[in-house]
Amino acid sequence: MSRNLLKTSAGPLQQQYRLALLDLDGVVYRGKNPVAHAAASITAAAKAGMTITYTTNNPSRTAQTIADQIAGFGIDVTPRQIITSALVAARLLRRRLPEGAKVYVCGGEPLKDEVRRHGLTVVDSADDAPDAVIAGWFPDMGWKYLAQACIAIEHGAQFYATNRDLTLPREKGLTPGIGAFVNAIITTTGVRPVASAGKPESAMYDEEREIYAEDGDDLVPVSQSLPVGDRLDTDIEAANRGGYDSLCVLTGVTDARQLLLATPILRPTYISADLRGLGTCHTAPAAAGEDAFALGGWTASYDRAAGRIDVRASDPARADADADAHGVSAVRADTTAVRTDMTDADSDGDATLLAGARTSVDALRAACQLCWTLADRGIDVSALDLPEFDL
């Protein structure tokens, strides 16, 4: 049985952990725009003594470009704090190849620069008999680059990838990520990558700690490092693979249902609406009798006969106050509705979630702890009638 459940923190996360490993897209920015509360929360965490670093699976932008972007949000940052999958991939290559080894880069200039900077020789085609091929997403990716990569690999070059993301979400829809191109190379050659640098591999976080230590800082242990991300199957899985605690924020791609159905490797240690969660203490939901967990005035319970998860305000006054403390203004407006709905729900037994609970992170946390505990007992949670959240 897994024990991957929500935990209680010893204090505000920014004091309990020395190093924050922040994902960027969906955590600090969404596309070109800053995520609400990110800049102020990051500034406060740094002030509290936390070292802030940023990780991205995207190898097509340089650390300087990214640092310039987030500095524009009012965040105090240097390029050294930005760890891209291109940097981690170049370090992985350098560990496995001798100095000056030839590498065909099926990727953009930032990745080529990192490979060169690590003492390797970038070559232009399969004709140069490269020792290794590395694939990393760039907007000009196409057949002629993939063809060179495949030919080099067929002739014995080792195959690496910056990351394995299958999709790259864009405003109008999903587009192919580097994983889709890596799969084309695998399909063509029958050869799989020796290693991939990006999340969900924990190499990203391990390298990040080491990169910091190389400049004279202490190596921060895993137990004092906190990956923070918006995606369960990259940010949070990488944390679990490496033995790290983690914080999932709800400002990006992960929704409540994904959290409720998360398998052990995808479960975060903490959940918060946004990066303000760095500055708060976190309390694990407490068992409240059989098949129920409570937190902040909300109780999630399993109705076995109905095949349903219910969330109710076990302590309405506390639930209101707690929701308010999380800055969810909509809940305050819904206070009356919560009480009314509760009576309705009690009388007809139909409503599974009260109006206020839909926007309460504590209600979601209680429901997650319950669903995860049930799943660990072998119950198929995806077949249950699950509460819906507007978070």
Residue 236 CB, nearest distance to Mg ion (Å)? 10
Smallest separation (angstroms) from Mg ion to the CB of 202: 16
Which of 14, 25, 52, 353 touches Mg ion (CB under 5 A)? 25
Is residue 20 within 8 Å of residue 278, measured between CB atoms?
Answer: yes
- We find the least distance from the C-beta atom of residue 178 to Mg ion, in angstroms, to be 15
In angstroms, rounded to a whole number, what is the distance separating the alpha carbons of residues 220 and 216?
12
Interacting stretch for Mg ion, rule CB under 5 A, among 23-31, 40-48, 209-217, 219-227? 23-31
Residue type, 175: T
Residues 90 to 119: which contact Mg ion by CB under 5 A?
A: none
CB nearer Mg ion, residue 23 or residue 310: 23
Judged by CB, which is closer to Mg ion: 230, or 322?
A: 230
Nearer to Mg ion, 244 or 298 (CB): 244
For the question of residue 303 being annotated catalytic, the response is: no
The CA distances from residue 233 to 6, 183, 253, 330, in Å, are 17, 18, 11, 30
Pick the stretch among 47-55, 252-260, 341-349, 376-384 that binds Mg ion (CB under 5 A): 252-260
Which of residues 12, 26, 130, 193 is near Mg ion by CB under 5 A?
26
Q: Is 25 known to be catalytic? A: yes
The one catalytic residue in 23, 165, 235, 341 is 23
Q: Which residue in the set 207, 208, 230, 274 belongs to the binding site for Mg ion (CB under 5 A)? A: 230
**Active-site residue (options: 25, 235, 245, 322):** 25
Contact with Mg ion (CB under 5 A) among 20, 22, 23, 260: 23
Candidates 26-34, 113-121, 287-295, 312-320; binding stretch for Mg ion (CB under 5 A)? 26-34
**Shortest CB 370 distance to Mg ion, Å:** 27
Total binding residues toward Mg ion, as defined by CB under 5 A: 5
Choices 24-32, 195-203, 217-225, 283-291 (CB under 5 A): range interacting with Mg ion: 24-32
Of residues 26 and 277, the one with the C-beta less far from Mg ion: 26
Q: Which window, 20-28, 32-40, 237-245, 276-284, contacts Mg ion (CB under 5 A)? A: 20-28
User: Closer CB to Mg ion, residue 268 or residue 296?
Assistant: 268
Active-site residues, by number, are 23, 25
Which chain residues interact with Mg ion by CB under 5 A? 23, 25-26, 230, 252
